[in-house]
Amino acid sequence: MAKRSVGSRIETGLGCFGIIALGVTLAIVLKWNPWLEFKGWLDERTSTLSEPKGAWTQRVAGQPDAAGITDTAVVAFMGDMVESRARNNGEFKWRKETDWAALAGPSSGGVVIISKVNGKGFDAVDPLSGATKWTDPDGDGAWTYRDAVLTVDCPKSGCSIVNRNPDTGEVRWKISTGNAIRSINGDNSGRVGPRSLDDKWNDVRNADPQPMPRYLGYLSDRKLQVLDTQAGRKVREENVPNDSRVVVAANRTVRVAGSVASNGCRIVVSGREAGGGQQLWQKDGYDLRTTGGAGCEPRNDPPGGGTVLIATRLDQRQVLLSAVDGRELAVANPGETILGTDGEVGIVRAGDGKQIRAIRLDGGGQAWARPVQSSAKVGVTPHAIFITDAATERVVALDGGSGQVRLDLGTGAEVIGVHQAGVVLGRGRTVGFNSFTGGA
């Protein structure tokens, strides 16, 4: 018996050694380092996302692109998957597969729009429980707002944009689009509006539903289709030449046209009444950062936010223009760069990169200023102005109007969700909720 026990142990040891040798050989051949994956797994479970710590930290099924936040739930959007956690403690609630998804409705309730996998239609589910509240079997896309879901429905009879109540799915109005329009399929695709300069925050902003504007637009065959969401009808169609870009900003359509001039490019900006199409203003000599490459034709939408556009004058001073009447609302100092706007203030960076300040757009005066590292980045959201710095591993959230600090965290994580009550941080598959500490 003793001899067999010793032999058995030797055989077991040799077997383990063989398994380890095989693993090492595979790691060398495949150039795979399991220690790095193990270290990442261990770090996500033993380290905190921020200092000071947030309300909770949890590991989700995939790496989120963004997170939607309601009064009760945090919904992580992970491409082909959506997962819900309780906002108060991070408890797992549900997980569903999808092709695309989006949050809609008010913070006090709302729904998560979850498309069918590899097929038409979607379900609108409760953010916390995951229970289906209503279904759209013909939906190919959706524009999601706090007070409405505009679904892109394409039954056999033809396609329409349909305004639905977020909570019940009740149809409020329907506008025919005729044929299918691929550019507006999926979640929040194809709307034409001023682009944000801090575009890495686009997914974060899209996960935070805002009130539906009076006018919306989308392009179809180089024609801008303008919708009046109050009246529930298409009010007009505007041809968009190849030398132009057009966006809808508040109650205006803004066109930027570029052509070759003797001294370079001539850029003309004009504003039309969104509903009627009458031209109300025109500006020459303003660069709206729309050109790219060697030509003068606009290749990008003009930047801005709300009813405000960002431009550069002939004297190289950057300015904030009103989309309503074309007025200069504020002018940056020589050498300063305008980083973005929420429609209420413009965020400006000093020429040396070491100060960020906010300019009021109702009078042009300075709202606040703050020293920053030259490596710091800025994100403009409806709830706060974020200053993030990967070099110093810090995230600071400021009230846009006053500059009051609402959050100051030491973290190497990224902000992936924003809400009036706080933020969701994400690093890899680890997410956590941090409350704002200052009043808005």
Is a pLDDT exceeding 60 seen at residue 2? Answer: no
pLDDT bucket at 422, cuts 50 / 70 / 90: very high
Mean pLDDT within 94-120? 96
What's the chain's average pLDDT? 91
Is a pLDDT exceeding 80 seen at residue 26? Answer: no
CB 418 within 8 A of CB 381: yes
Is a pLDDT exceeding 80 seen at residue 423? Answer: yes
Burial track 341-354 (b if 16+ CB lie within 10 A, e otherwise): bbbbbbbbbbeeee
Q: What digits encode the pLDDT tens for the residues 133-168?
A: 999 999 999 999 999 999 999 999 999 999 999 999
pTM of the model: 0.88
pLDDT bucket at 345, cuts 50 / 70 / 90: very high
- Check residues 93 and 9 and name the one with the higher pLDDT: 93
Mean pLDDT within 290-307? 87
For residue 408, give every residue at least 6 positions away whose Cβ sits within 8 Å of its Cβ, in sequence order, or none: 394, 395, 396, 397
pLDDT bucket at 382, cuts 50 / 70 / 90: very high
Tell me how crowded residue 410 is: count the other CB atoms within 10 A of its CB.
12
Please tell me the predicted confidence (pLDDT) of residue 6.
Answer: 56
Least confident window among 48-52, 197-201, 289-293, 306-310: 289-293
Q: What digits encode the pLDDT tens for the residues 35-92?
A: 555 545 555 555 589 999 999 999 999 999 999 999 999 999 999 999 999 999 999 9
Please tell me the predicted confidence (pLDDT) of residue 117.
Answer: 96
Is a pLDDT exceeding 50 seen at residue 1? Answer: no
Q: How many whole angstroms separate alpha carbon 370 and alpha carbon 50? A: 22
Helix, strand, coil tally for the chain in percent (to 5): 10, 45, 40
